Amino acid sequence: MSQRKIIHIDCDCFYAAVEMRDDPSLRDVPLAVGGDGGRGVVTTCNYKARAFGVRSAMPGSEARRLCPGLVTVPPDMARYRAVSQQVMAILREMTDLVEPLSLDEAFLDVTDVSDCRGSATLMARKLRARILEEVGITVSAGVAPNKFLAKIASDWQKPDGLFVVRPEDVDAFVMELPVEKLFGVGEVTAKKLYGLGIKTCGDIRALAPEVMIDRFGKQGYRLYEMAHGRDERSVVVSRVAKSVSVERTFSQDLPDRAACETVMASLVDDLTHRLTRKGRKKPIHKLFVKVRYSDFSTHTLERVREHIELPALDDYLPLFRELVAEGDRPVRLLGMGVRFRNDDAPVTQLRLFD
């Protein structure tokens, strides 16, 4: 069996990062999202606020006591969800094997991905750079042979960090790990472990597995396995890909429709590469194009095209020309993609009466 390559991507202080991106005046102040008013609780805070001891889930009153200059903004979940979707879409361009854990973190299994010469480290670097450039926030990444180690690694050099645990480094890496770093070890379990004189994974490894199972039941065996750097959990994909798309944001706006059309050929090439790389045999149902103008207004157009195996530039040009009727509006972003037919959905029309 080939050695698994898992990447864990974790957005740095996600809600606060989105707020600082959208309002540059918030970048140089200690910032908390949530925690306003008498009973509010801090949802996320930036690293300037963390330096004062402010933490998520802390009552706003305590946060302001620790950090008198704290600036608070109310959470805007709809905006964070939209940014999260952007991040996840970039991850899914690398592989379909993406398991989101929340709005701001996900596991990727890149074992069989050939991009970046098959190097998971280079893939993580590429994903971090793309998210910074296209979404405008930083993410930290951990690369390791399993989920447990990848998640710990992504936290190792936060913020804006990349840490790699190579298979040959696993033993040395876990020996010194504090037990609190283990998945599922909260205050209560940590206290119990400390009571047994167990502070690191090395201490757990010195024991027979029966001792751990006797004291902690099923969890004891899991802790014993993790202390040896083992975690067989697979990356679980909960959604079937319904579409594939590519898009490009331009550092300088494209001046007009003609300029857009010259760029479209390379976008179609990217799309073809993605469709063939993933070895999909799903039938295409629709083609779509997307345009964002310099004023940030975004428009999409899709049309049913059932009998196309791999779309070419000539398949997209008519849609693009229909969407961009005015030829001289500057374009900031250009995208295109396909939607697949859902063969699992019932295709027969249901009768109203039996």
| CA-based torsion, 286, 287, 292, 297: positive or negative | negative
Distance of CA 23 to the CA centre of its chain: 22
Strands (E), 86-134: 98-102, 105-109
How many angstroms separate the Cα of 196 from the Cα of each of 177, 202, 224, 295? 17, 13, 14, 63
3-state helix, strand, coil in the chain (%, to 5): 40, 20, 35
Catalytic center residues = 105
How many angstroms separate the Cα of 39 from the Cα of each of 2, 35, 57, 213? 52, 7, 12, 42
Residues of the chain with pLDDT under 70: 1-2, 38, 238-241, 277-281, 343-354
**Is the separation of the CB atoms in 12 and 138 below 8 Å?**
yes
- The pLDDT, as a whole number, for residue 188 is 87
- The pLDDT, as a whole number, for residue 278 is 58
- 3-class DSSP assignment, residue 176: coil
- 3-class DSSP assignment, residue 336: strand
Enter the tokens of residue 248.
């490009």
- Cα atoms in the Cβ-side hemisphere of radius 13 Å centred on 312: 2
- The pLDDT, as a whole number, for residue 347 is 44
